[in-house]
Structure 1
Amino acid sequence: MELLKVDGRLNKKRLALSILIPVVGGSITGWLANRNAQSKYKKLKQPSFAPPAAIFPIVWTSLYTIMGIAKYRATEKVKHAKENTPAIPLYELQLGLNFLWSFLFFRWGLRGTALIEMVTMLALIALTAYEFQKVDKTAGVLMMPYIGWVTFALGLNYAVWKLNK
């Protein structure tokens, strides 16, 4: 429970909102982008390291939850310190790119464009983690699993793109 407290305080409403936005947004985006796309995706050549499809919703729900906690912590620190930081706008931008990627890759089949977009997204995630770390070390650390997974997903995106040119 200490992980959720910032300077000894817990704002349950803000925490819930910070978690629900990426979790619900990611779920809706995934549903919209993946409708009727799964049959196409199954026909694509996959690299040997591609995980089973059932893994993705579990990983993304976990990551979106952790990201939401990180955003909550950073927002609370910034709010109480009254500092001016690009941390929150960077977070929102990378989250928007995260949602866009599903449409590029699955819905529109633009795997090369999705790859380029993911490189940009990964850079923004790293920058967000850096800015979060400056206001709250825990928030910065909480972004590390996300960086790791998106790095893996970048390799997966690249491999699928190369195998299916």
Structure 2
Amino acid sequence: MKLGAKIAILIIICLGIGYASSMVTQNGVTTWYPTIEKPSFNPPNWIFAPVWTLLYICIAVAGGIIWDKIETHPLAKKALLLFTIQLILNTLWSFLFFGLRNPLIALIEIILLLLMIYETYMIFNKINKIAGYLFVPYLLWVSFAMFLNASIWWLNS
């Protein structure tokens, strides 16, 4: 399979995960989220969908680049396993925060997610610098999201 097909498959998977997460998020955003205290640096709700769409595309392209190296690079299989784990954790966060409406459990989970994203970034970077660089915006955004999550937990506990 060619690189473009691998990237396209991962874009579909990542955007599908994003869509599934948004379905869990939507109910919480319209009912519970407006009722809780948020820090002054909380972004407007409209910013999340375009940012996440761009991030999912970036990490899908990175994953496709690594998938293309699976037969030639000894770290590629491990890298794709880490990629899969971080996607699962990414999806789980929405369920914990918006579905269960539990910022504390979501905070613990997002710390694990951030560590897994960092590990994925590090191994991707060893295999292909472009794939590593494509993970940097995701790493930065989830770092911000972790501080936002922590602040929301603190303000509402």
TM-score range, shorter chain: over 0.9
Shift in alpha-carbon separation, 1:88–1:138, aligned structure 2, 3 A: same
Q: Does 1:88 align with 2:80?
A: yes
Q: In the TM superposition, what is the alpha-carbon distance from 1:12 to its structure 2 partner?
A: 2.7
Partner of 2:25: 34
> 1:7-156 maps to which residues of 2 (within 5 A)?
11-31=3-23, 33-38=24-29, 39-79=31-71, 81-85=72-76, 86-156=78-148
Partner letter of residue 63 of structure 1? L
Structure 1 unaligned segments of length 5 or more: list them. Answer: 1-8
Q: Greater share of helix residues, 1 or 2?
A: 2
Normalising to structure 2: TM-score of the pair?
0.94
d(CA) in 1 for partners of 2:126, 2:75:
12
Q: Which runs of 5+ in 2 are unaligned?
A: none
Match of 2:152 among 143, 160, 163: 160
- Aligned pairs, how many? 155
Q: Does the 8 A contact of 1:78 with 1:135 survive in 2?
A: no
Whole-angstrom distance in 2 between the partners of 1:14 and 1:125: 20
Counterpart Cα distance in 1 of 2:131 and 2:4 = 17
What stretches of structure 1 move > 3 A for 4+ residues in a row?
none
Identity of aligned residues (%): 37
Question: What is the CA-CA distance between 1:36 and the residue it aligns to?
Answer: 2.5
Residue in 2 aligned with 1:6? Answer: none
Give the partner amino acid of 1:118: I
